[in-house]
Every structure is written in structure tokens, then in C-alpha cells.
Amino acid sequence: MTDTTRNELQKTNVQQSPTTTASGPADTRALLPRVDVLEDDRGITLLADLPGVPRDKLDIKVDGETLTIEGEVTTPTPTGLQPAYVELRLPRYRRAFTLSRELDAGRIEANLKDGVLNLRIPKLEHAQPRRISINVA
């Protein structure tokens, strides 16, 4: 795990990035999902809490060395009713990570179950430990 990834994990819960749309500045504030990063000899596993984000509203992208996770929370409201009180004011999650060069971004596997995104990012073959055979002469 890179120092940048560790630093990302220590940021506050709200992230804002400067983007604009054709109609002017967009509201780009988003919640930072809680993330656990686990590492083993073969790669890393990233677990991100994304409650309320359905699969069709989840976007995972790799651009260069940057992994971006974005998701839009959908809260179904029964017909004819309007929310009187809402605690989730930012219905979007966004998190970005800088991937180490030893990770194989082309083989990322993603699963979403019960509001938890599970990303498995394997290490490149040359970065994985290997056993050296010993020949007897």
C-alpha cells in the first residue's frame, strides 16, 4: 500500500473536487465511504461501505494509477409521500486512491453485496513472492 493510499484513509468524511458542467459549477461534494484495505502476498482487498448504492449507480474507474469509486445513493420514497426529515444530505459517495505500480489494475475484481464493495486487486506476477528451486549438483 502506498503512502498516498494511507493518507487518503485519514481524510475527513466529505470530499469536494472542482468540476463544472455545461450549465456552470456543479455540486461536487460527496461523502467519503469508510474503507478497509487488507494486503497479502498476492494483492490487496479493498472493502468500502456504500449503503444505499445499487449496482447500477456504482462506477469504478482506473485512469492511469488512480482508482476512483463513485456511487449514488438511491432512497425509494413511496408514491405521494415526501421526506419530512433526511439525515443523508449528500446522496453521493466518492473516493480516489493512487495504486502502486506493483498492482495489476487490469485484473481488478469487484463485488457488491449488502452495501459493501469488495475489490480484489492482484499484484503483478513479478511482484508476487516465488519459491526458488534448488538443484543438487
Q: Check: CB of residue 60 under 8 Å from CB of residue 35.
A: no
**Is residue 23 in some structural domain?**
no
Residue 69 belongs to a domain: yes
Collect all residues with Cβ–Cβ distance below 8 Å to 53 and sequence separation of at least 6.
Answer: 71, 72, 73, 74, 93, 112, 115
CATH number at residue 96: 2.60.40.790
Per-residue pLDDT tens listing for the chain (137 residues):
555 444 444 443 445 554 444 444 455 789 999 999 999 989 999 999 999 999 999 999 999 999 999 999 987 788 888 878 877 677 899 999 999 999 999 999 999 999 999 999 999 987 667 777 788 87
How many domains is the chain built from? Answer: 1
Domain that holds residue 71: 3-10+29-76+90-125
| pTM to 2 decimal places | 0.70
